[in-house]
Amino acid sequence: MRHPGLKLRMAVVGAILFAFYAVVAAIAYAMGVPLLLVLLGSVALVGVQYKIGKWSALRSVGAEEMPESGRWGDVHRRVEALADDMGIEKPRLMVADMGVPNAFAVGRKGAATVVVSNELARTLDDDELEGVLAHELAHVKNRDVVTMVIGQGIASIVGIAAQWLVLLTGDNDIADFFLSMIVGTAVQFVVMLFVLAISRYREYVADADAKRYVGSGEPLARALEKIQRGNENPSPSGSTTRQRGGRGRGRGSRDQSGGVNEQVGALCIFDDDDRSLVTKLVATHPPVEKRIARLRE
């Protein structure tokens, strides 16, 4: 059985999330909301989050279709070979100016998109870039993006339900309104902690899969080292230097510190590596040093 650790963690976290959801559904049903409406509303919310999340992630970095000329042609061929090895359809490939070397995947198997930054293509050697591409395809194969969206959807549903519970059981005044906002946010945060814990472990799994399909963990390990250095020293704001054969508009993908914005950062192969106590709890990625060490074991 592949990745038994992930399967066990998914079973535990899935049971916890289902318990949260079941409590919300039971309360809604007890208050007179039809059970069918609760179920349909939940599915609709997750579906909307999935569609809007994918669209906004691509738009936020100004992603454009990846050409099939120059070095990008080699990227297309490598992705096609990796996708064939993994037994998935070749994803749509796009390129963007992010200001930092990075890459991310969105969507599901059969309708996925992988975005590569121009900065990443300029920074990495061919085998290192292949390691990154294998990592992103592993996320697609393992349905990581869909899993995260479902988890976030449940967290949103539970948070909204907590808000309404406070409002409906209180005096419906301004104090209850602010209290409901605080309670809803706190409850959603607690649920998201379980989702984020799985997200961090999924990065290890995607690294392991990339190592397996590339044949060695060394290319991806070197890539992560270069990506970390590139994120510590991002390109000047507004840079639109272009990779040969590529295009880029640099449309708002960076925050003021030079890194990718928070929404896209959660999807990327590398996110902010600040490791204070609080950020360890809410981080979407494990420490890059641990990832590199595992890849080189």
Distant-in-sequence, close-in-space partners of 99: CB < 8 Å, separation ≥ 6: 117, 119, 234, 235, 237, 239, 250, 253, 254, 258, 259, 260
Q: How many domains does the chain have?
A: 1
Range of the domain at 267: 4-295
Work out the average pLDDT over 161-185: 84
Whole-angstrom distance, CA of residue 274 vs CA of residue 276: 6
At 22 the pLDDT is 82
pLDDT digits (tens, 9 = 90+) for 180-198: 899 989 988 888 888 888 8
User: Is 65 one of the annotated active-site residues of the chain?
Assistant: no
Which 3-state string (H, E, C) describes 134-165? HHHHHHHHCCHHHHHHHHHHHHHHHHHHHHHH
| Confidence check: pLDDT of 267 > 80 | no
At 146 the pLDDT is 83
pLDDT digits (tens, 9 = 90+) for 81-140: 999 999 999 999 999 998 889 999 998 888 899 999 999 999 999 999 999 999 999 999
pLDDT digits (tens, 9 = 90+) for 133-145: 999 999 999 988 8
Task: Write down the pTM of the prediction.
Answer: 0.79
Query: What DSSP character marks residue 66?
Result: P
Work out the average pLDDT over 202-221: 94
* CA proximity to 100, closest of 118, 75, 127: 118
Q: Catalytic one among 64, 136, 218, 232? A: 136
Give the confidence band of 260 by pLDDT, cuts at 50, 70, 90.
low
Share of the chain above pLDDT 70, in %: 84
At 282 the pLDDT is 73
